[in-house]
Amino acid sequence: MRIVIAIPTFRRPELLAALLAALPERIAELDPGDRAAVLVVDNDPSGSAAATVASCPLPARFVVETGAGVAHVRNRALDEADNALRAIGETGADALVFIDDDEVPEPGWLRSLVDTWRAYDCAAVMGTVRSDLPADLDPWLVATGTFRRASHPTGTEMPAAATGNLLLDLARVRRVGARFDPRLSLTGGEDTLFTRALVRAGERIVWCAESVAVDTVVPERLTRDWARERAYMRGNATVHIALMEATGPARISVLRCGFALGGAARILCGLLLRAAGRLVSRPDTDAHGWRVLHRGRGMLAAAAGYVHRAYARDRQNNR
């Protein structure tokens, strides 16, 4: 198998360096006949990651993608996969493996993805991402569920997938014609829309519990403000994606009304949970209500037509 490990990055040189340093051992765990190349796609127009990539312990292809947002970066990775293999004297990529620049793969990460892909003959394999949180993290923040991640037995079929730890069968992706939608570059959710398109085309996505990447949560994300933003963004993106997938003005109108009611109900439920949690001194109930409340706010805003561009680099773009 000829595999390309694709790393989207944006101004995280220390975290990127840690990931690149871990890859030689993970690649060495593959079967002797398998080959893997590394592709780094920098979304900083100045190419600030070039020096980090140049000093990494293995050959890697480095490209700069000037289209702002991760959908542009992921599409560029799809387009550059074959070029990346030339760095190791190979051509014709069979699989593309996405891993984020703030993650470090554990032993068996890549081998497990490839073994599961072979065993289940599927279009995509989604691995586990585990957040590395400090021991003294605010228990209330933990109780919000912001950092809680799903886990499933290996082989479980998934209706959609995230791209933090994901193998894609390139032949199947190209046959379906799936691409990451640039309209979601600054909102998030581009991976959900992409992988749902694979499933709608009759392809399968399966879970691999043995493939683990550890997410290094940077300090600025360990705050209530960031958790509130995350809950709002997810609520907003969920509705936005559903509206994008809908066909016909009547269906869109029905969805808008339904999501508006659902968002309002979540806001009310969140307020009640917060009040109950404070009344009986249950911080976990208060925290859960807080998250439900802000997710409902995001849904209600999306139903009203507001698209929250969480990854906009300036206020002018976030409207």
pLDDT single digits (tens) 77-126: 999 999 999 888 898 999 999 999 999 999 999 999 999 999 999 999 99
Instruction: Check whether 199 has a pLDDT greater than 90.
Output: yes
Cβ–Cβ under 8 Å, residues 53 and 5: no
Distance CA 233, CA 108 (A): 33
pTM, full prediction: 0.92
Task: Please state, in angstroms and rounded to a whole number, the distance separating the CA atoms of residues 314 and 88.
Answer: 39
Domains parsed from the chain with CATH numbers: 2-221 (3.90.550.10), 224-317 (no CATH)
pLDDT for the residue 314:
57
pLDDT for position 148:
87
Q: What are phi and psi of 176, to 5 degrees?
A: -75, -30
Residue 297 tokens, joined: 């706010």
pLDDT of residue 319: 38
CB 116 within 8 A of CB 211: yes
CA distance 172 to 54: 32
Residue that wins the pLDDT comparison between 319 and 114: 114
Q: How confident is the model at residue 149 (pLDDT cuts 50, 70, 90)?
A: confident
